[in-house]
A and B are shown apart, each in its own frame.
Chain A
Amino acid sequence: MVQLSYSQINRDLLKTMSPPGRVYYTILVLDLLVLAWGIFAWGYQIRTGMGVTGLNNPVGWGVYIATFVFWIGIAHSGTLISAILFLFRVKWRNAVYRTAEAMTVFALVVAGLFPLIHIGRAWLFYWLLPYPQRGYLWINFRSPLVWDVFAVGTYLIVSSTFFFTGLVPDLAVVRDQATGWRRRIYGFLAQGWMGTDHQWRHYSRAYLFLAALATPLVISVHSIVSWDFAVSIVPGWHSTLFAPYFVAGAIHSGLAMVLTMLIPLRRIFQLETYITRDHLESIAKLLILTTLIMVYSYLTEFFIAWYGGNRFEQATFLYRAVGDYALAFWFMLVFNAIVPLLFAVREIRRSIFSLFTISILINIGMWCERFVIIVASLAHDYVPFAWRTYKPSWIEVSILAGDAALFFLMFLVFAKLLPVVSIVEVKELVPPPVKEEALQ
């Protein structure tokens, strides 16, 4: 990074919060329209019943659950960048972690909606929680679905807390530069932060411990999500590979989503000095690692299906490759395991255009992966008599679009109301002004 002064960093990074222009509002309105359509579709589903979806026996889990798994995965790389890379003292993280962490929180909110949409009567969601009632009908703690509730709930609470804790010193910066009602609101949010040695001492400790707690948490969350499948006996699901395979896939898709969000962001806010090509390249390098894990996982799945000698398992994997959902399968294989290997070429991982294009392809590929794993296994399990293909209805597609719109809406609001790059952490990268040098 070019050597910058503290005040220059303040000026540049606070500029992102200046009043937005016409383009912003146009995007906002379009986004709200899609969201409204999604809400309408959900309302229609609630009013009419779950029959409006394509779900039926034997495919009881369709795009809602696939997209739930997809968004939870997206959330993972935010914590990877903000917590795990923090523990490893990776410097390039400082400029990009705020965006990645915001993505984590928003992706979790969006993901959390899908089980509610999927259960139909969303207002009865509290049945998932342990609460005393007349029949002592406690929830079943042996069920992976209950583990899921606790894992995702914990993840949402912890990542929101981590996000807000990281924000406080920056909110104080915003407060000190703002006037009028903005000063009052940010003053309230900054909670009287002053940057004293006393505050920094406890704050740094707390931040370190939160990062240390978030690290095993993030690995546990997608492991538990994978056990929703692996603990059952459906062919294609019942595998010990699932937990690491899902965690790697989650980070793979999340990193791609970070690129998809960062590239337009740095362009629109002219943050090229702060989020440099080197930052994007570092993410692309991490993507090479996750791609290799994906390749290994895909190969292992097929190898075990063949070598294990279980006919049902073999039939399931053959069905994935050449059956009704073959298109999604090949998208998954090519976009997740082959295309990202192009990042091994330096020119490709440093070209903004190819970074952006490949990141979108990975997003598509990863969604297809979730879809193939869930739907293809359910559609063709043990009894051929019960086989049935599933197609998402227009309601499901509309809700999917509305939910994605909700994610972008939260991101749009975040980009204007909060500093998208951590001011304090970028300052940490710059050596403090020293008198000796000034005299020279």
Chain B
Amino acid sequence: MKERTVRVVGIFIYFDAFLEAIRRLKDLGYRDLTAFSPVPHHEIEEVLEKPQSPVRYFTLGGGFLGAVTGFGLATLTSLNYPIIAGGIMTGGKPIVSIPPFLIMAFELAILFGSLSTILGMLLNIRLPRPRVQPGYDPRFSVDRFGLWVRCPADRSGAVEEVLQACGAEEIRRDEI
């Protein structure tokens, strides 16, 4: 039978105590940690040692796709214009006019780049969700820092001790 997993929740008032708890748990080998904070803090990222967000590739890909689409749209529709394609009415001017078409490429690069950035963000953080996950505490958006530690049930006592030693305001154990 698979070992039972529990989630130990620690709620902190002080930021330094919170960071210390993450640090100690990481040193003890706990990897499944989720930190809650009302504002983004670089220190949390540093302590958790998470890899860089891959959202940037979405931005780059979207921007590139947008530029190609913009230039392609202007070029192909111009070539598809029967009178122009028939060779009349161009007045000696090129059918594919680079400078104005670059403007289209630029605008659509920005548009697609922005939209794919949003898409990348949503995919990476698995949003939108209809509601918050059970176990979330509304105080996390006000002034409290929260830590979820997923661990085997028999280790939860040790985790609670660490949280206690670091000065957690409240400690809870949820069955999952």
Give A contacts to B, CB under 8 Å. Answer: 5-7, 10, 130, 135-139, 141-142, 147, 150-151, 153-154, 157-158, 161-162, 165, 169, 172-173, 175-177, 187-188, 191-206, 209-210, 213-214, 216-217, 220, 224, 424, 427-428, 432-436, 438
Please tell me if the beta carbons of A154 and B110 are within 8 angstroms of each other in the complex.
yes
Interface size band for B: 35 or more
Chain B contacts for A200, CB-based, 8 A:
37, 40-41, 44-45
Please tell me if the beta carbons of A210 and B117 are within 8 angstroms of each other in the complex.
yes
B88 at the interface (CB under 8 A from A): no
Please tell me if the beta carbons of B40 and A203 are within 8 angstroms of each other in the complex.
yes
A317 to chain B, nearest CB (A): 29
A436 to B15, CA, bound (A): 10
Closest to A170 in B: B141
Q: Mark B89-108, 1 if CB is under 8 A from A, else 0.
A: 00000000100110110111
User: Can you report 14 residue pairs joining A to B where beta carbons are below 8 Å apart?
Assistant: A6-B143, A130-B77, A147-B107, A157-B111, A173-B142, A176-B139, A176-B142, A197-B45, A201-B53, A206-B118, A214-B114, A216-B106, A435-B14, A435-B167
Chain A contacts for B108, CB-based, 8 A:
150, 154
Please tell me if the beta carbons of B124 and A192 are within 8 angstroms of each other in the complex.
no
Contact of B15 among A210, A224, A432 (CB under 8 A): A432
Chain B contacts for A202, CB-based, 8 A:
53, 55, 120-121, 124-125
A183 to B106, CA, bound (A): 41
A214 to B108, CA, bound (A): 12
Chain B contacts for A165, CB-based, 8 A:
118, 121
A142 to B95, CA, bound (A): 10
A230 to B73, CA, bound (A): 25
Please tell me if the beta carbons of B121 and A147 are within 8 angstroms of each other in the complex.
no
Which parts of B23-66 form the interface with A (CB within 8 Å)? 34-41, 44-45, 48, 50, 52-53, 55-56, 59, 63
| A173-B141, A192-B128 as given contacts; A158 in contact with B77, CB under 8 Å | no
Please tell me if the beta carbons of A433 and B141 are within 8 angstroms of each other in the complex.
no
| A154-B108, A435-B167 as given contacts; A161 in contact with B141, CB under 8 Å | no
Please tell me if the beta carbons of B131 and A204 are within 8 angstroms of each other in the complex.
no
Please tell me if the beta carbons of B38 and A6 are within 8 angstroms of each other in the complex.
yes
Please tell me if the beta carbons of A198 and B34 are within 8 angstroms of each other in the complex.
yes
Chain A contacts for B125, CB-based, 8 A:
198-199, 202-203
Chain A contacts for B167, CB-based, 8 A:
435
| A154-B111, A191-B128, A206-B121 as given contacts; A436 in contact with B53, CB under 8 Å | no
A433 to B79, CA, bound (A): 64
Chain A contacts for B164, CB-based, 8 A:
none
Contact of A433 among B81, B106, B110, B143 (CB under 8 A): B143
Closest to A176 in B: B138
B2 to chain A, nearest CB (A): 25
Please tell me if the beta carbons of B111 and A158 are within 8 angstroms of each other in the complex.
yes
Please tell me if the beta carbons of B142 and A10 are within 8 angstroms of each other in the complex.
yes
Closest to A172 in B: B141
Closest to B144 in A: A6
Contact of A158 among B100, B110, B130, B143 (CB under 8 A): B110
Closest to A154 in B: B111
Closest to B42 in A: A204
Closest to A149 in B: B107
Give B contacts to A, CB under 8 Å. Answer: 13-17, 34-41, 44-45, 48, 50, 52-53, 55-56, 59, 63, 70, 73-74, 77-78, 80-82, 97, 100-101, 103-104, 106-108, 110-111, 113-115, 117-118, 120-121, 124-125, 127-133, 136, 138-143, 145, 167
A434 to B70, CA, bound (A): 51
Please tell me if the beta carbons of A217 and B110 are within 8 angstroms of each other in the complex.
yes
Chain A contacts for B131, CB-based, 8 A:
187, 192
Contact of A136 among B52, B82, B136 (CB under 8 A): B82
A209 to B16, CA, bound (A): 30
A141 to B52, CA, bound (A): 40
A282 to B107, CA, bound (A): 31
A435 to B82, CA, bound (A): 75
A203 to B37, CA, bound (A): 13
Please tell me if the beta carbons of B103 and A224 are within 8 angstroms of each other in the complex.
yes
Chain A contacts for B130, CB-based, 8 A:
188, 192
Please tell me if the beta carbons of A197 and B141 are within 8 angstroms of each other in the complex.
no
A216 to B107, CA, bound (A): 10
A185 to chain B, nearest CB (A): 12
Closest to B130 in A: A192
Please tell me if the beta carbons of B13 and A195 are within 8 angstroms of each other in the complex.
no
Chain A contacts for B14, CB-based, 8 A:
432-435, 438
Closest to B60 in A: A209
Chain A contacts for B50, CB-based, 8 A:
197-198, 201
A213 to B13, CA, bound (A): 37
Please tell me if the beta carbons of A10 and B143 are within 8 angstroms of each other in the complex.
yes
Chain B contacts for A205, CB-based, 8 A:
52-53, 55-56, 121
Given A141-B97, A206-B118, A435-B17, 13 further pairs, Cβ under 8 A? A7-B143, A141-B100, A147-B104, A150-B107, A150-B108, A157-B115, A158-B111, A193-B132, A197-B35, A204-B53, A210-B118, A213-B113, A428-B39
Chain A contacts for B39, CB-based, 8 A:
424, 427-428, 432
Chain A contacts for B121, CB-based, 8 A:
165, 202-203, 205-206
Chain A contacts for B142, CB-based, 8 A:
6-7, 10, 173, 176-177
Please tell me if the beta carbons of A192 and B59 are within 8 angstroms of each other in the complex.
no
Closest to B133 in A: A194
A162 to B121, CA, bound (A): 13
Please tell me if the beta carbons of A436 and B16 are within 8 angstroms of each other in the complex.
yes
Chain A contacts for B73, CB-based, 8 A:
130, 141
